[in-house]
């Protein structure tokens, strides 16, 4: 289910309801074809809300699209940055959960990743002012309880040239 709503900064947020991890990976696969080198997708949300599940689906969708076998996609919680090479660009899965100071970010060399590759950034709030203005924000939230505890709501907000690339239909499957 997709619903549009206004979000801060005059960007329109689109709400996407996902019933389970399979839906989360399918949602990632629908977004993957819209990406190109230089893109940043900011994955926000509490622990356990589906950020890494989304990243796994996204990365594997791009591998399949490029005729490559699916990858085992580990969480980069301890490595901080996991790089995957595709024929046309590098794909970076970045997890900033363990970053305590913005100065630590400079050591990761994210400037090149943001400029030339496609970057999935978990815990993007750690970037502060280093978060690129041209990005797609995905804010994952729990949207169920009890038997429905796997349900998630994702608020999708496009900034920069992402505004022209994302269509509601592509988000709804």
> What number of other Cβ atoms are within 10 A of residue 135's Cβ?
22
**3-class DSSP state of 2:** strand
Note the helical H segments in 69-116.
102-106, 110-116
Q: What is the pLDDT along the chain (173 residues), one digit of tens a residue?
A: 444 444 444 467 889 999 899 999 999 999 998 899 999 999 999 998 899 999 999 999 999 999 998 988 878 777 899 999 999 999 999 999 988 887 788 788 888 889 999 999 999 999 988 899 999 999 999 886 666 778 899 999 999 888 878 765 556 55
Decide: 84 and 59 in contact? Cβ < 8 Å: yes
Separation between Cα atoms, residue 77 and residue 47, nearest integer Å: 12
| Per-residue CA distances from 40 to 6, 29, 69, 172 (Å) | 21, 16, 24, 21
Separation between Cα atoms, residue 124 and residue 97, nearest integer Å: 9
- The reported pLDDT for the residue numbered 7 is 43
- The reported pLDDT for the residue numbered 8 is 46
- The reported pLDDT for the residue numbered 171 is 63
Number of domains in the chain: 1
Q: What is the pTM of this model?
A: 0.87
CB environment 28-44: b (16+ within 10 A), e (fewer): bbbbbebbeebbbbbbb
Host domain of residue 20: 2-172
Q: Which residues, 6 or more positions from 46, have their beta carbon under 8 angstroms from its beta carbon?
A: 140, 141, 142
Residue of 109, 124, 106 lying closest to 42 (CA atoms): 124
What CATH number did the domain enclosing 142 receive? 3.40.50.300
Q: What angle do CA 52, 134, 166 make, to 5 degrees?
A: 70
């Amino acid at each position: 289910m997709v619903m549009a709503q206004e979000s801060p900064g005059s960007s329109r947020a689109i709400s996407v309801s996902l019933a389970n991890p399979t839906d989360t990976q399918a949602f990632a696969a629908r977004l993957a074809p819209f990406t190109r080198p230089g893109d940043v997708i900011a994955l926000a949300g509490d622990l356990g809300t589906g950020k890494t599940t989304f990243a796994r689906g996204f990365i594997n969708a791009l591998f399949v699209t490029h005729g490559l076998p699916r990858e085992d996609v580990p969480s980069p919680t301890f490595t901080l940055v996991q790089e995957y090479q595709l024929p046309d660009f590098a794909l970076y899965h970045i997890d900033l959960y363990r970053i305590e100071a913005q100065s630590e970010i400079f050591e990761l060399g994210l400037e090149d990743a943001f400029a030339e590759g496609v970057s999935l950034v978990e815990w993007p709030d750690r970037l502060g002012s280093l978060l690129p203005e041209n990005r797609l924000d995905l804010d994952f939230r729990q949207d169920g309880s009890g038997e429905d505890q796997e349900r998630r709501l994702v608020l999708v907000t496009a900034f920069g040239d992402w505004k022209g690339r994302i269509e509601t239909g592509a988000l709804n499957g």
